[in-house]
Amino acid sequence: MANALDNLYKNQSLIYKYILYAISVGLIVFFFPRGGKFKFDFQKGKAWQYENLYAPFDFSIRKGIEEIEAEKKELLLNKAAYYVFDQSIYNQVQKRFANDFADVFDAANYNTSEREKLFKLGEALLTSIYRIGVFRDNKITGQPYLVKNNEATLIRKHQIITIGSAAVFLDNNLDANLPKEQRTQLLNVLEGVIKANVGYDKELSDKAYADELSKVSFTRGSIPEGKLLIAKGEVVDADNFLVLDSLRSEYESEVWSRDNYYYILMGYAVLVALVLVMLLLFLKKYRPDIFENNIKVTFIFFNVLLMVFITTLVVKRMDGYVYIVPLCILPLILKNFFDARLGLFVHVLTILILGFVVPNSFEYIFLQIIAGIVTILTVSELYKRANLFISVGQITLIYILGYFAFHIIHEGNMDNIQWFTFLIFLLNGMLTLFVQPLIYLYEKLFGLVSDVSLLELSDTNSKLLKELANKAPGTFHHSLQVANLAEAAANEIGANAMLVRVGALYHDIGKMNKPTFFTENQITNVNPHDDLPPKESAKIIIDHVIQGIELARKNNLPDRVIDFIRTHHGNSLVYYFFKKQLDLEPETDEDFFRYPGPMPFSKETAILMMSDAVEAASKSLKSPTYTIINDFVEKIIQGQLKADQFINADITLKEIEMVKKVLKKKLTNIYHLRVEYPE
């Protein structure tokens, strides 16, 4: 039992990865849309590459989205618009007309026969107007129906009278032979009493429109089982594409049945598991430092899951917008936190997973891989805002050019191009800019460090560096010199120059606790080591590494920066005090005089060790010349090589030679003698 628990404890990191792997596979398969996968891949405008295809069962031919939308648009233009006739308003109009007519055409001024004649004319006009009714508005769309006495009657638009057109109707239809005064008075009375009594019935109209929409057929005709659908080598034209697409939809819905459910899930799970196992194998073989760090592995898997989740969600809801998902954020983030090769590899694997569910998978995979490659090749120094904008512009351009090329291949011309898709690509580019705040969020959640954070840490006005400058000005100046040397060397061999510069600025912060015990901070000839035994002096010197680590953690410096503090002396020997101790005690254990390590384990930490040793020792040079500097640099770095300080670092001998050349050149420039000017 004890052995089992001991093995469990030793392998807990590996067990965690297995659990993370299993959960990731399960979640991705859960995200996938519920449906089988059609076994033939085809595209409009390309030849059918398989054997002759016959209908495996009876199925209906589905209409294209554009055709269905055109039918709906036609229905909308000709939809029934219902207007309700209000009889009570008409009764009020008649009553008011009688009252107003009696007031205007009184018995004192008009005889009975004239009044009767005029009243009948007015009544006839009102009856004519209100036979259909007076509409409240002029905006009559679709097919207008008048609902009167619970009966709906189709009316012509030229028959419709509104408040505005009623006056014109009265003027045109009132007897022109009437005396002018009588005609004018009667018109005024009629115009004064007319009120709208026909209103739009939205509820009834919407219900009728919904009924019509429900009758829209999504299919046109059917294909019997056994009919030849397409022959080998035949080009997939528009008609064939509709038939094949209908078969694919029918096939995928029929395959995803209760009987086949678990088989299909198992198939998806195996494919996703293969893709994710490739990711773990890549990390284990080529990025062992990342593989051993569970937080970093979790971070990579989390980003893959996030992109798969967002994309599958869009595919389920509105697959026409699949390109709005800013998939290039993935390589951007991984390149920023790790390296370009890992970013591209994970990006490609994620696209392979998404290829199972997106429409037009070949087109999608091609465009996304090309966009990912452009992302990796163009984005550098992400902390510079202009670089991100330029890169996003190039990514968007690649999407647009790729879509344009595929459209020409499919259609054979530039007709029917979907300009809205270009807007989707522009939105994709705008969403990609969200990578900056996302990087900041990831730094806080996962404790990672990006180039943006490194840029902030490189500010010499930061609290910790200002404290170093005040307490140990010599060490601060030394750190600046080392930072310049290391940054130049890193640029020469393609290492992370920003990281190595920040590491150089902070590598000696442990000297702040006892600054006068380090020669660069001694402003007098008094050396406190003269009064101490060699062992105690060596302990003070060695302790600046441990104290630097503690100080860095207290000030929340990232682990990537603390690594430079831990490794900048490796496990080298404090030779000066060891030699002094040998004179006093020949049997001295040299382990007491060694730094605790570890040794450098990356190009950046190796560069810092070389730059730090060369810069510190260069202070002892007397009347340096190019030959002296050349031999001096060779001696320092050859000593480190013989001590095996770089055996754990992924730096080659060729790169070490390149670093040497940079250090020699920089030191030559620093110690270049100026012409002595006469007084």
Chain-centroid distance of CA 498 in Å reads: 25
Which residue in 425, 435, 416, 424 sits closest to 395, CA to CA?
425
According to DSSP, the residues that pair with 153 across neighbouring strands are 146
Name the pLDDT band for 28 (thresholds 50, 70, 90): very high
* Angle CA 519–602–451, to nearest 5: 90
Higher-confidence residue: 484 or 69? 484
Element (H, E) at 559: helix 559-567
Higher-confidence residue: 214 or 563? 563
Name the pLDDT band for 636 (thresholds 50, 70, 90): very high
User: Span 553-558, mean pLDDT?
Assistant: 90
Give me the CATH topology for the region 453-670. Hypothetical protein af1432 (1.10.3210)
pLDDT in tens, 352-395: 999 888 877 888 899 999 999 988 888 766 666 677 788 888 88
DSSP 53-118: EE-SS-EEEEPPHHHHHHHHHHHHHT-EEEEEE-HHHHHHHHHHHHHHHHHHS-TTTS-HHHHHHH
User: Span 518-529, mean pLDDT?
Assistant: 82
Per-residue pLDDT at 258 exceeds 70: no
DSSP 515-534: GGGSGGG--SS--GGGGS-H
Neighbours of 355 (CB within 10 A): 15
Q: What pLDDT, on the 0 to 100 scale, is given for residue 9?
A: 47
What would the 3-class secondary structure string for 128-151 be?
Answer: HHCCCCEECCCCCCCEEEEEECCE
Per-residue pLDDT at 125 exceeds 90: no
Backbone angles phi, psi at 602, to 5 degrees: -150, 165
Per-residue pLDDT at 237 exceeds 70: yes
Q: What is the spatial distance between Cα 55 and Cα 512, in angstroms, rounded to a whole number?
A: 82
Per-residue pLDDT at 265 exceeds 50: yes
| Cβ proximity of 403 and 425 under 8 Å | yes
Residue 533: partners with Cβ closer than 8 Å, 6 or more residues away: 581, 584
Q: What percent of the chain has pLDDT over 70?
A: 91
| Cβ proximity of 452 and 382 under 8 Å | yes
DSSP 627-654: HHHHHHHHHHHHHHHHTTTTTTS---HH
Which residue in 153, 93, 104 sits closest to 126, CA to CA?
93
Q: What is the spatial distance between Cα 68 and Cα 75, in angstroms, rounded to a whole number?
A: 11
Residue 188: partners with Cβ closer than 8 Å, 6 or more residues away: 104
Neighbours of 372 (CB within 10 A): 25
User: Span 324-351, mean pLDDT?
Assistant: 92
Q: What pLDDT, on the 0 to 100 scale, is given for residue 360?
A: 78
Q: What pLDDT, on the 0 to 100 scale, is given for residue 674?
A: 47
Backbone angles phi, psi at 146, to 5 degrees: -100, 120
191-200, 214-223, 511-520: lowest mean pLDDT where? Answer: 214-223
Per-residue pLDDT at 203 exceeds 50: yes
Q: What pLDDT, on the 0 to 100 scale, is given for residue 309?
A: 94
Q: Where are the domains of the chain?
A: 2-35+260-423, 74-212, 453-670
For helices 329-337 and 361-378, the axis angle rounded to 10 degrees is: 30
Name the pLDDT band for 262 (thresholds 50, 70, 90): confident
Per-residue pLDDT at 147 exceeds 90: no
Mean pLDDT, rounded, of the chain: 84
3-class SS at 228? strand
Name the pLDDT band for 36 (thresholds 50, 70, 90): low
Residue 631: partners with Cβ closer than 8 Å, 6 or more residues away: none
Element (H, E) at 294: helix 294-318
Per-residue pLDDT at 319 exceeds 70: yes
Per-residue pLDDT at 54 exceeds 50: yes
Per-residue pLDDT at 255 exceeds 60: no
Tokens matching residue 625: 């010349």
Which residue in 367, 364, 358, 392 sits closest to 378, CA to CA?
392
3-class SS at 414? coil
Neighbours of 105 (CB within 10 A): 19
33-42, 141-150, 188-197: lowest mean pLDDT where? Answer: 33-42
Higher-confidence residue: 317 or 637? 637
Residue 88: partners with Cβ closer than 8 Å, 6 or more residues away: none
Q: Cα separations (Å) of 157 from 26, 132, 144, 146, 289?
A: 62, 11, 7, 11, 79
Name the pLDDT band for 675 (thresholds 50, 70, 90): very low
The one-letter code for the residue type at 112 is: T
Between the ranges 34-38, 105-109, 172-176, 476-480, where is the mean pLDDT highest?
Answer: 476-480
